[in-house]
Amino acid sequence: MDEDYEVDLYLRQKWHDERLQHPDITEVLDLNDPNLVKAIWKPEVYFPNAKHAEFQFVTVPNVLIRIYPDGEILYMLRLKLTFSCMMDLSSFPLDRQVCTMEVASFSKTTEELRLEWKNFKPVIMGKGLKMPQFEIDKISASDCQETFQIGNYSCLVAEFFLSRSVGFHLVQSYLPTILIVVISWVSFWMDVDSVPGRTTLGVTTLLAVSSQSAGIQSGLPQVSYVKAIDVWMGTCTGFVFCALLEFTFVNYKWRKFTKPTVQSHRVNGELAVFDLQNDQVSPKGLVFEKKDPKHATLARRIDEYARFCFPILFAVFNLIYWPYYLL
């Protein structure tokens, strides 16, 4: 993800030059010969936040000067520019960005040259223009002034208010992780003693959500702050990990045995162990063990509580997450 944007634009400048107010000019005069264009004075403007610029030459130099009989001049040229846009990705991919395009005087101070926007629709977007990742909410045009040691220079700023399209990230990031978290809850509905199945399910879902998070992070710039997608992926990973921990604790309780009261005697010359609680005899030193019913009941209750607590907590997280980053 590059923090810049590329535009193909028509730059139109209009000013009044009394020297070209000649009685022989009775109608509008168009000049598109580069040699004639160079002979006429033009404002020396540049784009302060542009990283790269190209002049369009296909199929002819895309430049035009129109001279009106009253000395008014319209100067139009076509440019391909790459502007830098410093983005704040703390709410990515639910973020809104403001990208600017600046036009400023290069060599003339405000005493010699003052730039002004056109009164009506100073910035016009092309019809049917769509961006793959953003939607343009509005465009704001304003004046500014750059101050340097050698003087003050007039400048213009066009601000593009953008909101990121969430559809792609819903399909590629949010829905898959939601399904992975929900699948991890299937473990709560399996038998407590289904150790291989529940272990496989827990480890598989944990690896899946970790792989999904790594794939998302690989396409993002390395920033030092936490993004909205980091909060989402971290929470989903936490839910899956907690489901695996829940099974570990439940299985521990389920497998916990009582220590029976035993007594050993020799019967017919062989060692036998008597379980005084259950009146059982274990020959050859084998001790009968019995599961503690309290721990077994607790293990089943924990599973029953988890079936409802995990979805409720995940729903509460969604109720907090989406309004916080969208509103």
CATH number for 4-164 (one of 2.60.120.20, 2.70.170.10, 3.30.1330.10, 3.60.20.10): it is 2.70.170.10
Percentage of the chain with pLDDT > 90? 61
- 255-301 confidence digits (pLDDT tens): 875 455 445 555 555 555 545 455 454 454 444 455 567 878 888 99
pLDDT of residue 3: 82
pLDDT of residue 269: 55
23 compared with 210, residue with greater pLDDT? 210
What pTM was estimated for this model as a whole? 0.80
Query: Is the distance from CB of 212 to CB of 180 less than 8 angstroms?
Result: yes
201 closest CA partner among 178, 182, 218, 215: 182
pLDDT of residue 288: 47
Where do the H-state alpha helices sit in the chain? 34-38, 167-169, 175-184, 195-218, 228-254, 293-326
Please indicate whether the domains covering 4-164 and 167-256+292-326 agree at the CATH topology level.
no
Segments making up each domain of the chain, as ranges: 4-164, 167-256+292-326
Report residue 213 as tokens: 């998070």
How far apart are alpha carbons 253 and 249 in whole angstroms?
6
Question: What are all long-range contacts of 269-278, with beta carbons under 8 Å and residues at least 24 apart?
Answer: none
Would you say domain 167-256+292-326 falls under CATH 1.20.58.390?
yes
- 57-72 confidence digits (pLDDT tens): 888 889 999 999 999 9
Query: Is the distance from CB of 102 to CB of 155 less than 8 angstroms?
Result: yes
